[in-house]
């Protein structure tokens, strides 16, 4: 199979040098991963940030066996996808700063947004809500509050897309409804 066809099958915009091009959507994805990792493990955000934002990945080490010179390891599609997911990310100007600012904003607004979430979540115990959904909601609410140059509907749409990709089948609808209510109060 040709390299281009392999790249298309993985779903990642990977070049021959195994670099993924950054975007604001990818920044939001990485910020969500950082925050969830932080909440679950209590690892300092700076440590997680360095690992997730600045990955260095050597495909050759993953493809060739260290025991036998030139021996190729057999990888499943899932393993190959995971490998490519760890490719180095080429961030454009401002994207890393956007990520840092978004993390700071989430940490600043976390308690207030959770309190708001409790007040507008009819018949829903926030502690039973998936952590990913809570994190996505706090991220989008913080973005709507602290990033006036980003239209609120864009923040909501990006949150809905994260929920579709990373959470339950119904989460995107829930996230959209909650964020619409929060948007009305901003």
Q: What is the pLDDT of residues 83-131, one digit of tens each?
A: 655 667 888 889 999 999 999 999 999 999 989 988 887 777 888 889 9
Closest-CA residue to 133 (of 2, 48, 39): 39
Q: What percent of the chain stands above pLDDT 90?
A: 50
Tokens in use for 166? 């990373």
Instruction: Pinpoint the alpha helices (H) of the chain.
Output: 3-10, 24-41, 45-53, 59-63, 77-85, 95-120, 131-146, 152-166, 171-185
Q: Calculate the CA 135 to chain-centre distance.
A: 10
Lowest mean pLDDT among 11-15, 95-99, 166-170: 11-15
Q: What is the pTM of this model?
A: 0.74
Q: 95-185 has which CATH code?
A: 1.10.940.10
3-state secondary structure of 88: strand
The domain limits of the chain are 3-90, 95-185
**Residues paired with 88 in a beta bridge:** 19
Q: Express each pLDDT in 52-77 by its tens digit.
A: 887 644 445 545 545 555 555 566 66
The rounded distance, in Å, linking the Cα atoms of 37 and 43 is: 7
What is the torsional sign of CA 88, 92, 96, 101?
negative
Residue 182: predicted pLDDT: 94
Tokens in use for 185? 């109060």
């Amino acid at each position: 199979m040709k390299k281009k066809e392999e790249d298309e099958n993985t779903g990642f915009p990977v070049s021959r040098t195994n670099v993924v091009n950054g975007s604001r959507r990818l920044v939001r994805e990485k910020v969500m991963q950082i925050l969830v990792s932080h909440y679950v493990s209590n690892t300092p955000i700076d440590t997680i940030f360095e690992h997730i934002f600045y990955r260095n990945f050597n495909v050759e080490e993953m493809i060739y066996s260290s025991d036998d010179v030139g021996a190729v390891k057999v990888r499943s599609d899932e393993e190959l996808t995971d490998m490519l997911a760890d490719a180095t990310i080429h961030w454009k100007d401002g994207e890393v700063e956007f990520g840092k600012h978004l993390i700071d904003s989430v940490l600043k607004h976390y308690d207030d947004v959770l309190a708001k979430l409790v007040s507008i979540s009819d018949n829903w115990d926030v502690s039973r809500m998936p952590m990913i959904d809570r994190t996505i909601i706090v991220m989008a609410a913080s973005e709507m509050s602290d990033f006036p140059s980003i239209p609120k509907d864009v923040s909501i749409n990006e949150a809905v897309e994260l929920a579709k990709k990373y959470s339950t089948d119904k989460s995107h609808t829930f996230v959209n409804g909650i964020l619409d209510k929060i948007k009305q109060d901003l």
